[in-house]
Structure 1
Amino acid sequence: MASSTLPPVLAAIDVGTNAVRLELARPDADGALETLHQERDPIRPGEGVFATGAMPEETADRLLATLRRYAALCKRHKALVRAVATSALRESRNRDAIVQRVRDETGLDLEVVSGKEEARLICLGVLHRKPPGARSLLIDIGGGSTEVALTTGEQPDHLWSLALGAVRLTEVFEASQEVSSKHLRLMRSFVAETVRKTLPEKKLSGAPKGALGSSGTINAVVAFASGEDGNIATVRQISQAVNALAAMPPERRRKRFDPRRADIIVSGALILEGAMKHLGVETVSAVNRGLRDGLLVDLLYRQDVTRKDHSLTATALELGRRFFFDEKHCRQVARLAVALFDALANLHHLPLSARPYLEVAALLHDIGTTVSYERHHKHTYYLIRNADIPGLSERERALVALVARYHRRSVPKVSHPGMAGLPASEARTVRKLATLLRVANALDCSHQQPIKSIRASAGRDGVTLHLNARQPMDLELWTVDREAAYFRSVFGKRLLFHVGK
């Protein structure tokens, strides 16, 4: 009996460029994560990808064999799983075929995450339970990319992903063996140029002078630079380490480091040096947490449906501003939409986890107008579907895009072409959320925010919207009345209105 009260086991699978990792953990009563099992297989999923643009078949076979074993372990523990792949698969032109093969042969849904989502997850892993006001600067060097984040607490304020990783740089410059002085100068120039193009030119306001460095590469470089037991190094020590590692014969590097790490250690040290110098960082402290830990924290937070992710709202607003949206209108529509969602929970029967989908869709429903007002709902769908929205998986982003697409014109009937291929449960979610969004959008069709507050109540005769207005809203009432028929077809209730001041 007691075992049935235990929280579920959480499983994180990280398909990186150098290795594939698995961690199984269970949250305790305080929300801390107790590790049950860990594995790391250095199968180099990114081997050859940056040179050829595709994952070779033999590499894919190694990956599938590893993931089949991981999937069996997850199944044995009845774990909730999130499996992600980063830059190697992100840039592989046969990624879709490999993802499908993983699904068919292991049952795992392998999600190829964007660079910014990777950075967000790393922040969660490294900064979990960080004091809310604490400022941090985080650097993570992977095999194919480097992520940089400026954060407050565990929430990212700014995220950057550089197409510059230890394996990628090594392959581009064939730097796994000896590195001559001329070769080293070329690599330093290349790193400096790439960093300069991606990271802000001006020093980051409020950024600490000491950075946190996650990843095995940074841990190895910092330990070498500062001494065997050191976990903090100055930028001068990192520069000295670059020169020493480049001058070291390959055989000595392989004795000093794990053989596969030894091949890429010079490139990793160069990237760390370039990032620290550009960011004006004086020291870097190595930490033993990263993406895999972030996946577990993300799974933990997703179990708490009452937790609001403010970073997701901030990301949506930032994306909207990029497309010059009417922020007052979109914020009003989002406010009305989530108020309807909360008040009508006993009518729509959707989980609280669907609430952020509606809020993001409401905030972004008009961004397609930057392309053209005509058919802007379709442009909105395309922009959201292809946007980088950290905090949403690829599948979740597709649902948000559909909800936003159906805020006007065609309604999301199962027979509509835009709904083709959706599982029945997702189709129901889209229909219900889009219906609430259509009502909320109609209630601010003038873009003048005439409604101060809204309260909804469901009775036997229908759903009554009690609207507290600050000015006449004849246009809104005429427009929302046109949505009443579809509302009734979805929820089986008439839509009634009561306006007060």
Structure 2
Amino acid sequence: MSSNARPLRNDGSGGDVLPEPLSLEDLFHKYGIERSHADNVARNALELFEILAPVHGLGSEFQQLVEMAALVHDAGVATDFENHHRAGRDILLRHPPSELPERLWPVVAWTAFLHKKKVGMKKIEGLKGKAFGNMPEALQDVTLKVAALIRLADALDYSRMESRLGKVTFEARKVRFEIIGQGAEVDAERMYKKGDLWHLLYDTELEFKPQLLKS
């Protein structure tokens, strides 16, 4: 940890934590993160990052951030399954991935918080009253964009049946994805639901069409 690291408010309640970064491997071991799911979500996130780059506008310097956020998005599952988005946020505020620059530590934590439940404008506005609102506006913007990608990437592995992105078609203000795999129907439907944050941030609609594998 750098010598000038400052305490971070964890949930807006007034409590402060001093970050003690851990390596990615230590986070996996300490918090029992499901590696296969984490790897699938990271794969999906990186693919979505590349495909949707003309829309999301995140530079290539954020590619590692997207990958790291995907790998640790479920850090809180073993601690508190029902509220693992909150548990994951608090874990990652205490123990951010040491592989990332310090300024991006809170982005990973708040991405974990935002990956699970429905996201609407009211929720985003409510974040301003939490520690999220203390972040520079540019990092708040990056966090929401990264979270939008992680939500979609997570949804693509919802069935745990190795669904993959297939053919991608760009139209005027619409991107159509074919979803391939035995769990494609389930995962495509989940992607529609988890696309809520994306559609709040961008005026480019995402469409997901399942393509079941032939037996």
TM-score tier by shorter-chain length is 0.7 to 0.9
The one-letter amino acid paired with 2:73 is: H
What CA distance in whole angstroms lies between the structure 1 residues aligned with 2:115 and 2:167? 21
The one-letter amino acid paired with 1:498 is: K
Q: 2:197 aligns with which of 479, 483, 486?
A: 486
Q: Report sequence identity in percent.
A: 23
Q: 1:320 aligns with which of 17, 25, 28?
A: 28
The corresponding residue for 1:406 is 114
8 Å CA contact 2:188–2:209 kept in 1: the answer is no
8 Å CA contact 1:464–1:495 kept in 2: the answer is yes
The corresponding residue for 2:139 is 426
Change (3 A) 1:423 1:457: farther
Q: How much has 1:373 moved relative to structure 2? A: 0.6
The one-letter amino acid paired with 1:390 is: S
Q: How much has 1:456 moved relative to structure 2? A: 4.0
What CA distance in whole angstroms lies between the structure 1 residues aligned with 2:88 and 2:167? 29
What CA distance in whole angstroms lies between the structure 2 residues aligned with 1:367 and 1:399? 14
What CA distance in whole angstroms lies between the structure 2 residues aligned with 1:402 and 1:113? 14
Q: How much has 1:405 moved relative to structure 2? A: 1.4
Q: How much has 1:317 moved relative to structure 2? A: 4.2
Aligned length: 196
Higher strand share: 1
The corresponding residue for 1:336 is 44
Q: How much has 1:483 moved relative to structure 2? A: 2.5
- The higher relative CO (CA closer than 8 Å, separation ≥ 6) is in 2
What CA distance in whole angstroms lies between the structure 2 residues aligned with 1:415 and 1:483? 19
TM-score by length of 1: 0.36
The corresponding residue for 1:445 is 158
Q: Does 1:464 align with 2:176?
A: yes
The one-letter amino acid paired with 2:144 is: R
What CA distance in whole angstroms lies between the structure 1 residues aligned with 2:93 and 2:177? 32
CA deviations 1:181-230 (Å, max 9, x no partner) are: xxxxxxxxxxxxxxxxxxxxxxxxxxxxxxxxxxxxxxxxxxxxxxxxxx
What CA distance in whole angstroms lies between the structure 2 residues aligned with 1:395 and 1:405? 18
The one-letter amino acid paired with 2:159 is: S
The one-letter amino acid paired with 2:67 is: E
What CA distance in whole angstroms lies between the structure 2 residues aligned with 1:388 and 1:483? 25
What CA distance in whole angstroms lies between the structure 1 residues aligned with 2:85 and 2:189? 21
What CA distance in whole angstroms lies between the structure 1 residues aligned with 2:21 and 2:134? 28
Q: How does 1:228-267 map to 2 (within 5 A)?
A: none
8 Å CA contact 2:45–2:70 kept in 1: the answer is yes
The one-letter amino acid paired with 1:378 is: R
Change (3 A) 1:454 1:362: farther
8 Å CA contact 2:39–2:71 kept in 1: the answer is yes
Q: How much has 1:415 moved relative to structure 2? A: 3.9
The one-letter amino acid paired with 1:392 is: L
Q: Does 1:364 align with 2:75?
A: no
8 Å CA contact 1:461–1:494 kept in 2: the answer is yes
Q: How much has 1:113 moved relative to structure 2? A: 8.8
The corresponding residue for 2:12 is none
Unaligned runs of 5+ in 2: 8-17
The one-letter amino acid paired with 1:424 is: E
TM-score by length of 2: 0.79
What CA distance in whole angstroms lies between the structure 2 residues aligned with 1:114 and 1:468? 40
Q: Does 1:385 align with 2:111?
A: no
The corresponding residue for 2:14 is none
What CA distance in whole angstroms lies between the structure 2 residues aligned with 1:316 and 1:354? 17
What CA distance in whole angstroms lies between the structure 2 residues aligned with 1:415 and 1:472? 34
CA deviations 1:417-457 (Å, max 9, x no partner) are: 443122221121111110111111111112232x1444544
What CA distance in whole angstroms lies between the structure 2 residues aligned with 1:326 and 1:338? 18
The corresponding residue for 1:496 is 207
8 Å CA contact 1:113–1:394 kept in 2: the answer is no
Change (3 A) 1:396 1:361: same
Change (3 A) 1:425 1:358: same
What CA distance in whole angstroms lies between the structure 1 residues aligned with 2:202 and 2:179? 20
The one-letter amino acid paired with 1:358 is: V
What CA distance in whole angstroms lies between the structure 2 residues aligned with 1:408 and 1:361? 13
The corresponding residue for 2:11 is none
8 Å CA contact 1:340–1:456 kept in 2: the answer is no
